[in-house]
Structure 1
């Protein structure tokens, strides 16, 4: 999907990276529900460490999108 969007988003730097981070973080968050949590780390606020990292990726992706959505390269 990202490969197909690369030409369309060529004049919008950062958007493609943000889409990748969002997609990876989103799917990784839900995949972590099916994995066994690391026993030495345990759960933090009911979430595994992988889910917390995935949420950070999603928030970073949203931040990149919000910062780059109105910028255009000449």
Structure 2
């Protein structure tokens, strides 16, 4: 079940840069992806792969390209 973690990681919008006169010393958020990205889906995706494709489209995180997937979004959990 990586979908939640990936949605947080990929939805980072950089809002601050720590700089001095010489160089950048980092940015915020420093634990999220802030560069442009694209996601690829294919018809052989299954389970969490369907959840991921749905999440990308629903949250408009990046562009989703490739073949349509059913979007059944299934995974198993154990008690």
Rg bigger for which structure? 2
TM-score of the superposed pair, with normalisation by structure 2: 0.32
Which of 1 and 2 has higher RCO (CA within 8 Å, sep 6+)? 1
Q: Which structure has the highest helix share of the two?
A: 1
Q: Under a length normalisation based on structure 1, what TM-score does the superposition of the two structures give?
A: 0.33
